[in-house]
Amino acid sequence: MPEPRTVALVTLGCARNEVDSEELAGRLAADGWQLVEDAADADVAVVNTCGFVDAAKKDSVDALLEANDLKGQARTQAVVAVGCMAERYGKELAQELPEADGVLGFDDYADISDRLRTILSGGVHASHTPRDRRKLLPISPAERQGQGGAVALPGHAQDGAASVTGTASVTGAEAEAPVSVPDLPEGVAPASGPRAPLRRRLGGGPVASVKLASGCDRRCAFCAIPSFRGSFISRRPSDVLGETRWLAGQGVTEVMLVSENNTSYGKDLGDIRLLETLLPELAAVDGIERIRVSYLQPAEMRPGLIDVLTSTPKVAPYFDLSFQHSAPGVLRAMRRFGDTERFLELLETIRGKAPQAGVRSNFIVGFPGETEDDVAELERFLGAARLDAIGVFGYSDEEGTEAAGYDGKLDEDEVAARLARVSRLAEELTAQRAEERLGETVDVLVETVDGEDGEAVGRAAHQAPETDGQTVLTSGEGLRPGMVVAAKVVDTDGVDLVAEPLGGCTEAVRG
């Protein structure tokens, strides 16, 4: 029997890309490929690229070049680019980067095994031809149901948007226990019947992401994502619930719901309040100790959604709000809504219901036309907002975006100066916010334990993976990854907390 082909998946970018990589891993494992962690041990290295901003694109190119350097020195015979950068640039990327033996778009994902076998055998698969994916589905969300059978939607049901039937109910026959599918290797989904995407976890640990939707209908002037991720389309609630159950069976205790815009979930299914219905169902899954919702649009926040996020057991009172700025003139130029006072009112409403709620956001400085008064207004907002985590980015043109054609561009040195200035302020303010938590009792999901009696590290409810800091527990005795332990905050280090366990912990129930 021939030795199975080996493949390594190298993932860059956001949590959505991580889910896509696990879908590719599931497809490949189901077709007999052996998954390995190190590209040097793989016949083919598949690099899941990010195409969002220049720095991310550079990281993607560097990863492709690094994998290419293994040829002739290790087992690696081919390097293939997938993901957002490959989808966005396709043939152009292939021409500029001949080191990549293949550049595959989202349309190739369903046939990823065949594509890789062709490339490894010396064949040539035509590089992906980019297209504006916003034009592949109807403009009206309601008309997208049943129209996307031929549209590839990574992380969705295998038959694409055609599986969307408009069902807004989470309960009933559609939400039955996971259906086993024969002839799949151990550890490979689908978890809710043959419609669900194949998935195999690429890492251990108690945290995993689940896609709520793909694409975005917003038209922010600085963002190119909708052009290569396409229009917004929700996953069926039963598929989300089934995948969460499967992940719980794989040892996951915290699920983070991801998409380009979670506040729009359900609008194409006929119920914009569908997330409020789904969250309690997800939180009730045996083995799940925390549900976290990311990527929320301030302009779309609803009182009912705030209520569910702040009052549902096991749903983290966590608000990843995409403010981007607070000066009204800059926001309008960005094609966004709101201002300092409206944003502060939103935060006041959230904290009125959950005083310990975590809030994070990202901001762009140096946007075309931004004045010193606009920067001062942003600083005023940041000073009053008491955010737990702040990401600050300097504006740069993204091809294909409206803002790339704007007048009033700032000098690069001025953008860099404003970036440094606001970043320093953000660092000071988030450290102060962490200090406000001294004496609080926080629920820490343990992620790592160094030795039986060693240091345990995890995250409180206001800390999302990788972006918002961590909590170091003063004792790891008796703790294991995946447990949730109540702890008192006794010290801080920037945005990180130091907390003393209070003795009570919760361990997930395994069915």
505 known ligand binder: no
- Closest residue by Cα to residue 415 from 427, 423, 403: 423
| Crossing angle of helices 372-385 and 412-436, rounded to 10° | 10
DSSP state of 128: P
Residue 33: both structure tokens together: 């490929």
The answer to whether 247 and 210 are in contact (CB under 8 A) is yes
Angle at 27 between CA 23 and CA 32, to 5 degrees: 145
Phi, psi for 438 (deg, rounded to 5): -55, 130
Residues with Cβ within 8 Å of 475's Cβ and at least 6 positions away in sequence, in order, are 453, 456, 500, 501
Greatest Cα-to-Cα distance within the chain, rounded to the nearest angstrom: 71
- SS3 annotation, 254-305: EEEEECCCHHHCCHHHCCCCHHHHHHHHHHCCCCCCEEEECCECHHHCCHHH
Order the strands of the 358-365 sheet from edge to edge: 318-320, 358-365, 389-394
Residues with Cβ within 8 Å of 312's Cβ and at least 6 positions away in sequence, in order, are 279, 280, 283
- Alpha-carbon distances of 167 from 33, 67, 214, 268, 274, rounded to whole Å: 36, 44, 18, 10, 10
Q: Name the CA dihedral angle for 109, 110, 114, 115, rounded to a multiple of 10 degrees.
A: -20
Which residue numbers belong to the known binding site?
14, 50, 84, 216, 220, 223
Which residue numbers belong to the known binding site for [4Fe-4S] cluster?
14, 50, 84, 216, 220, 223
